[in-house]
Structure 1
Amino acid sequence: MKRQFVMLTFDLEEFDIPEEYGQKVSTKEQFDITLEGMDRLKKLLAVHRIPVTFFTTGNFALKNPELIKKLSQRHEIASHALFHSPFHEFRQEDILESKQILEEVTGIKVTGFRMPRLKPLNISRLSDWGFQYDSSINPTFLPGRYNLLHKSAEPTVEKGLIILPCSTSPTLRFPLFWLSFKNLPSALYTAIAKRTLRKRRNLMLYFHPWEFAGIDHYKLPGYVKKPNGERLIQKLDYLISALKETGAEFITSQDYCAYLIKTDKAFQSVDKSAAEFD
């Protein structure tokens, strides 16, 4: 049986989504909500004893260096730019600055990047800055957000980087992102995830720690905020348990790239120095 891999990834960022809907949230509250969700998430990951990838903003790491350092001892820390808020003007150099911050905090080389909100990005400089992979593509069609059906749903190499797309279902390209996980019945979402894993032998899913905090009182659409807190942790527990039953290996994004480089000639042009895969 060919090996199958599951990558659970979490965008570890400021809880700024209410501002997209006109609700002001203080900087302290943005961090507090994310930390509340992280407390629940850390406990679940410890129970299942699986490694994951945290795409982390440099701003969050600066405010919570001890947490990021501790997470890096078990999980991968990758870059999620410097700030997440759409009200901060984005500069390409922010990506390099975030990488430098994360490496200083953790003492570990950062090799992965994901653009906040998966916005379009010129990736041409990422390889020069020492990144090995980018995971900013959701290869699906969502009106008003993504029109990326022309992008590969499989890992590829582009401009010296491994491109790790977020998972979509085979054939129909149904997105398996956080909103699908939140809103579909657990059994249905898990069935689609399992089918995708069987077909592609890899599964890249993404969530946000703030989803696992109690956010009922914020003025957000129901499909964004419910379920949350402990109910959403229970859904994630169900999903992880079901995926474990498939025999798939849970792996960080960085280690999956190392596997691709070791086993597939198409990826051997990418720098091999970031990690060794056993």
Structure 2
Amino acid sequence: MILLSFDIEEFDVPLEHNVDFCMESQIKVSIEGTNKILDCLKRNQVKATFFCTANFAMHAPEIMERIKNEGHEIASHGYNHWTFEPGDLKKSKDKLEEICGVKIRGYRQARMMPIDEEDVQKAGYEYNSSLNPTFIPGRYMHLFSKRTHFMKSGVLQIPSSVTPIFRFPLFWLSYHNLPAALYRKLCAHTLKHDGYLVIYFHPWEFYALNEHPEWKMPYIIRNNSGSGMVKRLDDFIQKFKNKNSFMTFTEFTEKTISKK
């Protein structure tokens, strides 16, 4: 089982590097990237889960409609990507349900930062995928957290996949910079060991970032972006599709809870 997901958000990465980047441009980049992702998924006939901010959804309702109409799951990625307060959990869920006309069952915190599980449960979510159980200085300090899914405060926790040994993260940045075949080999090993795989990407990775040096993006983010990342996503799906099922996070949640 492969849980393929995308964090659909405002492209605010330039702000982290002190580059003034207006909201209109942030949304434009993410719209283009999301369309490329959807084209790839449609071409390969697989489903995924899209964790969307309410702010993006309000600026791009036509993309939300496409995500829904093509059979993908919509989940919450908060209200805004740049800021957060506890009330945003319920606020984002309500706004996404209003815009998309579907029930929002899952949540992922922006940048996978820590979140109070009781607050997640009170806001009405059934699963949470906000944990990257690895150690990356300055970002993730979860070396001793549970590596695979578990229940907490009545919510199913679905961490991002890391390798069984050394907890090497199999997140988006790894696929940009490792040799593609090596990344897929690590994914195959983890999938065989755990029985499922959780990976995630962002729409702006599928935008030609190398054409915009004025955004001051680090090389590790720009590497293999744009058409290079489209090819890598295509290759990943084609590598795993024949022997594995791609499913949404809600499908996985229902399957997991029914076994308990």
TM-score under structure 1 normalisation?
Answer: 0.90
Contact 1:18–1:24 under 8 Å retained in 2: yes
2:142 is aligned with what amino acid? Answer: L
1:69 Cα deviation (Å)? 2.4
1:181 is aligned with what amino acid? Answer: Y
Partner of residue 63, structure 1: 59
How many correspondences in the alignment?
256
1:129, 1:116 → 2: CA distance? 16
- What fraction of aligned residue pairs are identical, expressed as a percent? 37
Partner of residue 225, structure 2: 228
Residue 155 in structure 1 maps to residue 152 in structure 2? no
- 1:103 is paired with a residue of what secondary structure? helix
Equivalence map 1:1-278=2 (5 Å): 5-73=1-69, 74-85=71-82, 88=83, 90-216=84-210, 217=212, 218-245=215-242, 247-263=243-259, 265=260
2:62, 2:234 → 1: CA distance? 26
Question: Which piece of structure 1 moves more, 180-189 or 216-225?
Answer: 216-225
1:224 is aligned with what amino acid? Answer: I
2:155, 2:34 → 1: CA distance? 30
2:87, 2:122 → 1: CA distance? 12
2:66, 2:139 → 1: CA distance? 35
1:11 Cα deviation (Å)? 0.3
- 2:81 is paired with a residue of what secondary structure? coil
Contact 1:58–1:102 under 8 Å retained in 2: yes
1:145, 1:130 → 2: CA distance? 27
1:128 Cα deviation (Å)? 2.1
- 1:251 is paired with a residue of what secondary structure? coil
1:213 Cα deviation (Å)? 0.7
- 1:69 is paired with a residue of what secondary structure? helix
1:191, 1:82 → 2: CA distance? 36
- 1:206 is paired with a residue of what secondary structure? strand
1:244 Cα deviation (Å)? 1.4
1:108, 1:206 → 2: CA distance? 22
Which string of whole-angstrom CA distances, capped at 9 and with x for unpartnered residues, describes residues 49-68 of structure 1? Answer: 11100000000011112221
1:113 is aligned with what amino acid? Answer: Y
- 2:209 is paired with a residue of what secondary structure? coil
Q: Please report the RMSD computed on the Cα atoms of aligned residues, expressed in angstroms.
A: 1.0
1:14, 1:67 → 2: CA distance? 13
1:166 is aligned with what amino acid? Answer: S
- 1:168 is paired with a residue of what secondary structure? coil
1:70 Cα deviation (Å)? 2.6
Deviation beyond 3 Å, 4+ runs, structure 1: none
Contact 1:11–1:206 under 8 Å retained in 2: yes
Contact 1:40–1:230 under 8 Å retained in 2: no
